[in-house]
Amino acid sequence: MSSQDNSPEEHLPSEQGAHGGAVARKDDPFADPGLPPHLPRIQDIDERAARRSERTVAFLFVLSMLATVAFIASYVAFPIDKIVYVFPFGHVSILNFALGITLGLALFCIGAGAVHWARTLMSDREVPDDRHAIEAPPEVRAKVMQDFADGAAESGFGRRKLIRNTMFGAMALVPLSGVMLLRDLGPLPEKKLRSTMWAKGKQLINMNTNQPLRPEDVAVGSLTFAMPEGLKEENADFQEQIAKAALMIVRIQPDEIKNKRELDWSHQGIVAFSKICTHVGCPISLYEQQTHHVLCPCHQSTFDLSDGAKVIFGPAGHALPQLRIGVNGQGNLEALGDFDEPVGPAFWERG
Amino acid sequence: MSTAEENPRAAAGERIADWADGRLGIYSLAKANMRKIFPDHWSFMLGEVSLYSFIIIILTGVYLTLFFHPSMNEVVYHGSYVPLQGIRMSEAFNSTVNISFDVRGGLLVRQIHHWAALIFLAAMFVHMMRVFFTGAFRKPREVNWLFGFLLFVLGMFTGFTGYSLPDDLLSGTGVRFMEGAILSVPIVGTYLSMFLYGGEFPGGDFVSRFYSIHILLLPGIMLGLVAAHLILVFYHKHTQFAGPGRTEKNVVGMPLLPIYIAKAGGFFFLVFGLIAMVAAIATINPIWAIGPYRPDQVSTGAQPDWYMGFSEGLIRVMPGWEINFAGHTLVLGVFIPLVVFPLVLAVIAIYPFLEAWVTGDRREHHIADRPRNAPTRTAFGAAWISWYFVLLVGGGNDIFATHFHLSINSITWFVRVSFFVVPVLVFLATKRVCMGLQRRDAEKVLHGRESGLIKRLPHGEFVEVHTPLEQGDLHRLTAHEQYAPLAVGETTDENGVERRLGRGEKLRAKLSKGYYGEGNQIPKPTAEEYEEITSGHGHH
């Protein structure tokens, strides 16, 4: 319809297909004037400028080659553990830095060269191309419909309903085998999430020293993490056990404990709560000793350890479970049973 | 067809091409595509950035699989990074540390892979917004819009499963968050969790399971979608902006061979080169500093990769609602965010179908809209982006609190309120801005461009001279189409019989009025207005 040259007749409004709704007048001031004339670049008219562009492109390609050579040289020359100071990036691994910069340069120069070539030396004449409707013309559509009807009729699919229905039945059942095969992805939940390793008589082991905790080890204002006696890092199920049994211990002046049960379950103001957040299971690790608030660093749920660890802010839905503790014959802290409710995030069967 | 026999002296390249054509039919393909016209606009390269970063991710990812051990077996580290020596970790973490410190160039490839993933998602996001705001999703491109949307969603999950593989303390925390979210699903939550992790969290299976999802399942689907996406781009031909000589029936630009082969091919190297340099100078995911995963340990300031941030925001600002009844717990505080997460994405995905329903327009559209000329759509898109960013702020509430010395509680409350309020405000503001820009365009068409020249009239009045626009600009500024609001028509016919309107029809008419009714778009200048002003009276 229109082309890149600017012959005026072609672009008279009457020549233009009416589009855009409102425009329908013959002398429309807003009519499409057609493609503007091509403006030559300096490289199109001045051969010396074109030569300069050619040299620039070639220079970029040569630079890329040099960068690749430098990459190989860096790979061979720099030891992997050498750290150097490079302004303004600071202390960096020289190997990583040199490989990245040379590889980046080698790639970038190929790209820059190609783009510069395209922009300055290849033709920049804009040309139009016709579009064709995506949907098929009516004859094609009719032909396809007819073909389909013929094919369907020949199969007898609609007529022989017994075949059709049994085929649907078979196709619907066969994926069930696949579903069955997924069954052994994991065990059933049963009561696994309801209990932890804690039990009556298990001593509280300090996670830092691996020694049993004694009441005098726990100072007011400190935060101590403990695990059950018998749990070892080298155990095969250590990660699963610690994911439920992780415990935090703080000491609060008994008269500051507002919750009666919490006081009953403590030992001289030493209280033990599950470390696993009841929101989505992050380990809680931020303790504000003045207020006895603990904060989960993942989603900022805040619990008041002096008031039954109830939620005072954030997305957690219920208080942290408390572990009932006492002191055994050797003067070490011990659990007086498991948690009386599931630790960690809530779930459907929790109740 | 074969000309090789007839022309034994043809050049070797030609003979190879003839050989291939006789077996593959490449000449018909080349006829349609070799000189295919592509229009030029800077925003059309955003999709290219996505494509190229995807290719970079595949190339670097294949390299990483040569060294990575997708196993959770426990080992004690004895590699060259001293601070970790003697520490227990999974083989996955161990091999990732080895890639970083013992494989020459391994760290670089890891960092290119991770940076490219962040850029891939960001480029897809911006590309999607470009398509949205220019209305390039309209018929015949709705299916391609959905393909693109699916690529974005799958990209998010490929990213998540990917950064979880090293089994470091940060990503493990994310995997635990995923466990908590799955547990909140009513009735089947605990079962799903046991099946996904092969037992109780963390178990010994998730790294190898995520590995096959990350390197095979999801990228396989994505590769297919990318191919389909590109085939449709070729088949539909690219959209173009209105301008002199550009119509709905043509596409104006430069041919694939040589311009776009050089420009787009070169652009791949530019993107790759830049990402390689970024990977050389900016550390990303230094897992050696974070340490191996332990369920009882965590670091502060834990953040997911940016594209997962909005879901993090949902989970952080949701109040902790829990309903206990008949021995069961409904964990709304976690389950509602889990449901809203796909809804936030679905809202933008289904918008094209909503707009098509409101306009009732069944024609093809190949001229891209300027955002201002579709004020309601633009306002909707801006509102969605603001919604997304409000949630990103929520996901980083701890970072905002520590960096700007704000209270975490106030930020959380701000996000809770903003979740509902900010999109509405942004919608209203954007619509007004669009209408203002439409008014300015109309003004420019009718009165010309402000020239900056002040003229003093004989009686002392000062006026500014306006230069009339050239016809090409007049056309460009008036080429857009304006819909009339849907006419419901008489609800009673001449015999007084009431025509019942369905609820859907009523809603459609209301929406249509909101889109195209009075006060929702500025009528574009008509030829009569233009002539009345330009003839006789001179410029105002």
* Residue B395 forms part of a structural domain: no
Close Cβ partners of A135 (under 8 Å, ≥ 6 residues apart):
A141, B140
Per-residue model confidence as pLDDT tens for chain A (351 residues): 333 444 444 443 443 443 434 445 567 889 999 999 999 999 999 999 999 999 999 999 999 999 999 999 999 999 999 999 999 999 999 999 999 999 999 999 999 999 999 999 999 999 999 999 999 999 999 999 999 999 999 998 889 999 999 999 999 999 999 999 999 999 999 999 999 999 999 999 999 999 999 999 999 889 999 999 999 999 999 999 999 999 999 999 999 999 999 999 999 999 999 999 999 999 998 999 899 999 999 999 999 999 999 999 999 999 999 999 999 999 999 999 999 999 999 999 998
pLDDT, residue A10, reads: 41
Q: Name which of B102, B200, B299 is nearest A80 (Cβ-Cβ).
A: B102
**Dihedral (C-alpha) B123, B127, B133, B139: value to the nearest 10 degrees?**
-160
> Taking 80 as the threshold, does the pLDDT of residue B1 lie above it?
no
ipTM higher than the 0.90 cut: yes
Rounded distance, CA B370 to CA B377, Å?
11
A299 & A250 share domain:
yes
pLDDT at B265 over 90: yes
Mean pLDDT of B184-202: 96
| CA nearest to B398 within chain A | A300
Which of A5, A95, A299 to probe by mutation at the B interface, max B CB count within 10 Å?
A299
Name the residue of chain B whose CA is nearest to A275's CA.
B296
Angle of CA points B169, B188, B183, to nearest 5° = 25
Q: Does B303 reside within a domain?
A: yes
A150 within domain boundaries: yes
Domain end among A120, A146, A170: A120
Cβ contacts below 8 Å, chain A against chain B, sum to 370
pLDDT at A345: 96
A33 chain-B contacts, CB cut-off 8 A? 244-245, 471-472, 475
- CB–CB of B276 and A2 under 8 A? no
Residues of B in contact with A2 (CB under 8 A): 245, 247, 250
Q: Give the single-character DSSP code of B499.
A: P
Asked if pLDDT for residue B495 goes beyond 90, the answer is no
The predicted structure's pLDDT at residue A103: 98
A306 inside domain: yes
Q: Are residues A309 and A205 in the same domain?
A: yes
* Residue pLDDT, tens place only, B103-161: 999 999 999 999 999 999 999 999 999 999 999 999 999 999 999 999 999 999 999 99
Asked if B530's CB is within 8 angstroms of A29's CB, the reply is yes
Residue B3's pLDDT band (cuts 50, 70, 90):
very low
Structural domain boundaries, residue A160: 138-185
Would A171 be classed as within a structural domain? yes
Question: What's the CATH code of the domain at B294?
Answer: 1.20.810.10
Residues of A in contact with B197 (CB under 8 A): 186
Confidence of residue B497 (pLDDT cuts 50, 70, 90): confident
Residues A98 and A150 in one domain: no
Q: What percent of chain B has pLDDT over 90?
A: 88
Question: How many domains does one find in chain A?
Answer: 3
For residue B116, which of B10, B219, B206 has the smallest C-alpha distance? B219
The verdict on a CB contact (< 8 Å) between B237 and A129 is yes
A54 lies in some domain: yes
Average pLDDT of the residues in B223-250: 96
pLDDT confidence bin for B491, thresholds 50/70/90: low
- Has residue A13 been placed in a domain? no
- Domain containing B112 equals 48-242+283-357
Q: What is the pLDDT of residue B5?
A: 52
Task: Dump pLDDT digits (tens) for B66-95.
Answer: 999 999 999 999 999 999 999 999 999 999
| Element housing B31 (H / E) | helix B26-33
Show residues of chain B in contact with A89, CB under 8 Å: 281
**Residue in the block written with tokens 């990209």:** B155
A331 and A217 in a single domain? The answer is yes
Q: How far is A65 from chain B (nearest CA, A)?
A: 14
Q: What is the count of structural domains for chain B?
A: 1
- For residues A216 and A106, membership in a common domain is answered with no
The number of residues making up chain B comes to: 540
Nearest by CB: A131 against B297, B322, B366: B366
Q: Is B362 domain-assigned?
A: no
CB contact under 8 A, A118 and B263: yes
**Is the pLDDT at B2 greater than 70, yes or no?**
no
For the cut 90, the answer to whether the pLDDT of residue B532 exceeds it is no
List the single residue in B with minimal CA-CA distance to A15: B245
Question: How far apart are the CA of A129 and the nearest CA of chain B, in angstroms?
Answer: 5
In the predicted structure, residue B456 carries a pLDDT above the cut 50 = yes
Structure tokens at B392: 């990103």
Q: Which residue of A has its CA nearest to B283?
A: A92
Across the interface, do B397 and A286 touch by the CB < 8 Å criterion?
no
In a domain, B164, yes or no: yes
Asked if the structure places residue B18 within a domain, the reply is: no
What pLDDT is stored for residue B496 in this prediction?
Answer: 72
* Percent of chain B with pLDDT strictly greater than 70: 97
Determine, for residues A33 and B193 on separate chains, whether the beta-carbon distance falls below 8 Å.
Answer: no
Yes or no, beta carbons of A298 and B299 under 8 Å apart:
no
Q: Examine residue B219 and state whether it is found in any structural domain, yes or no.
A: yes
Dmax over Cα atoms in chain B, in whole Å?
94
Residue B6 has pLDDT above 80, yes or no: no
Q: What is the distance between the alpha carbons of residues B443 and A188, in angstroms, rounded to a whole number? A: 71
Residue B42 lies in a domain: no
Whether residue A248 sits in one domain with residue A309: yes
Residue A172 lies in a domain: yes
In a domain, A345, yes or no: no
Other C-beta atoms closer than 10 Å to the C-beta of B352 total 22
Measured between CA atoms, the residue of chain A closest to residue B232 is A134
Q: How far is A84 from chain B (nearest CA, A)?
A: 13
Residues A209, A318, single domain; the answer is: yes
Q: What's residue A6's pLDDT?
A: 42
Q: Indicate whether A252 belongs to any domain.
A: yes
Separation of alpha carbons A180 and A173, rounded Å: 11
| A301: chain B residues, CB-CB within 8 Å | 320
pTM for the whole thing?
Answer: 0.93
In chain B, the residue whose alpha carbon lies closest to the alpha carbon of A28 is B527
Same domain, A237 and A144: no
- Give per-residue pLDDT as tens, B358-397: 999 999 999 999 999 999 999 999 999 999 999 999 999 9
